[in-house]
Structure 1
Amino acid sequence: MIIEVNDNIIKKLTPTERDVVNYINSNLNKLSNMSIVDVAEESFTSPATVSRTIKKCGFEGFSELRYKISAKEEYNHDSKKVNEILGKSLIEVTKTIENISITNVLNIVKTIKESKRIYILARGLTELVAQEFNLKMQLLGYNTFLIVDPNIMMNICKTIEKEDLVIAFSLRAETKEIIESVKSAKKSGAKVVTCCCVRKSILEEYSDITIIGYKQSRTSIKEFEVTSRLPLFIISRAIIDYLII
């Protein structure tokens, strides 16, 4: 039994939601391989009902429930490993959202709207995050420039104006060219925003606003710097979605 049902929880559940709980507790050996849609179909309910039931029982969502089942079970080694992988993403998403300061998001949006030009800096795999962010900003009508070439970014930031804004995306916040560029921009009087996954970095020292995501310590491909950029995508989305609103 993965869901312990006490009197307080039973009072919150409808008869249909109790059926969902009974199904989950009776099918633990299958659940780690199932999606929320599968559970809804098997219990003759809907994904919304399954999600609501799980949350009433104290879980953040179906992903957390499935992850906890896989951590306990001994039925299927492969299923357990896949759920551990999915669990890493769940942790990254959850902790990044917890880290994001609402005040900082609001201040970034305000700064973006007040800026004449917006320069977006990124290097390596983080360029993929910056490319998407830049495209969406341009679709919203903002005057943005994506710069990934180290020499260009360092030269442009030396001639930047006070009405401009620099947004730096950097996972580890230690890329030399981005640090030098941000220093130059700050010296010119421009505003600087940093989106990274490291606290108390050099980049943060030179930034007006910093948003910090959560980075996993373990890397799947250890020979290369291919750590997940999911936290940066989440930060990027938070900014873009609020700009749209």
Structure 2
Amino acid sequence: MLFTDKMTHITDLTDNEKRIVQYIKKNLEAVSTMSIQTLASKTYTSHSAIVRLAKKFNYSGFKAMRQAISNDVQQNITQLNDIDANFPFSPDDSAINIAKNISDLTINAIKRTLIQVNEEELISSAKMIIDSKRLVLFAIGDTQIRARSLQSKLVKINKFAIIAEEYSDESWSAINLDKNDLAIFLSYTGNNSNYLKLLKFLKKQDVPTLLITGNPNSKLIDYADQNITIVQNEFDVFKVSTFASQMTFEYLLNTLFAIVYSKSYKQNLIKMQSNYDKLMQNDILNNATEPKKRP
């Protein structure tokens, strides 16, 4: 999670801590090389107040927090906030300006995701997919479209996934899982009460679970075996569409599939060629892709 996002999501700050946070927001680059003495002087606070704030952000102290700020500056994170993820265009924008804004938003969303993603989390998540006997995807609304995209990719490498909510059977899908399976939950808001119940149940049953969310404060995280949390500047409800969050899901799921594929790269290519030859030899692929001509 980016430091700039932590400043947005943190709560229960004292007046002094709020003043420090506001100063950092306005002077991110300067603070990245600033001493604790200077920051205390600029914010009319004390060393101890800054250290307490750093620990609220889950850093060991000021130096660790400053390093996180420096990382954001080096990644040019401030340049990624120019496009409003919730309202990326106005009614007065021309068609080409709207096209440019959506392009910029797409690039920004993927860059923000890449900056936040953790390699160990990716490797662990991919291994869970590889090791699973059965795979069930829990996703609703726009997110289910991304889940279906992953489902389509996996079947081509002989990995069959089920969309749990496809026929409103998510409870039955969950109840039949065991320790050899994997349940993947996709929820950007992380506030789905039914998912919380299911995750609690699956944890009791020792069923492996993977959560991908955009909410670092989600209660779902406490019950998932592995989670990937990526924060975008997107509101839960008040927005034109779920542009940024869906780009995040698409990018992450494509990345996980690519990692899974790479672990058996040669075998997957050989199998794909073999399957393709069988389809062509039996005229199955043509029938599936081209309409039959009438006599």
TM-score, normalising length: structure 1: 0.62
What amino acid sits opposite 1:116 in the alignment?
K
What residue is the counterpart of 2:186 in the other structure? 169
> Following superposition of structure 1 onto structure 2, how do residues 64-79 of structure 1 map, counting pairs within 5 Å?
78=94
| Paired position in structure 2 for 1:100 | 117
Deviation at 1:81, TM superposition (A): 5.7
Structure 2 counterpart of 1:197 = 214
**Alpha-carbon shift at residue 88 of structure 1 (Å):** 2.3
Tell me if structure 2 keeps the 8 A contact 1:167–1:194. Answer: yes
Aligned residues: 175
1:230 aligned onto 2:236: no
In structure 2, the partner of 1:212 is 229
Q: 1:185 aligns with which of 191, 196, 202?
A: 202
> What letter corresponds to residue 137 of structure 1 in structure 2?
L
The structure 2 residue matched to 1:130, chosen from 141, 147, 163, is 147
Q: What amino acid maps onto 2:219 in structure 1?
A: I
Unaligned residue ranges in structure 1 (runs of 5+)? 1-57, 69-76
Secondary structure (helix, strand or coil) at the match of 2:169 reads: helix
Please report how far the alpha carbon of residue 216 of structure 1 lies from its aligned counterpart in structure 2 after TM superposition. Answer: 2.6
Secondary structure of 1:163's partner?
coil
Q: Cα distance, 1:59 vs. partner?
A: 10
Distance in structure 2 (CA, Å) of the matches to 1:147 and 1:118: 10
Long gaps (5+) in structure 2: 1-73, 84-92, 263-295
1:115 is aligned to 2:102: no
Supply the AA of the counterpart residue of 1:216: N
**Residues 88 and 208 (structure 1), Cα distance of their counterparts in 2 relative to 1, 3 Å cut:** same
Distance 1:202 1:142, change over 3 A: same
Matched, 1:241 2:241: no
1:41 maps to none
Query: Could you say which residue in structure 1 is the equivalent of 2:170?
Result: 153
RMSD of aligned alpha carbons: 3.0
CA distance in 2, matches of 1:218, 1:170: 14
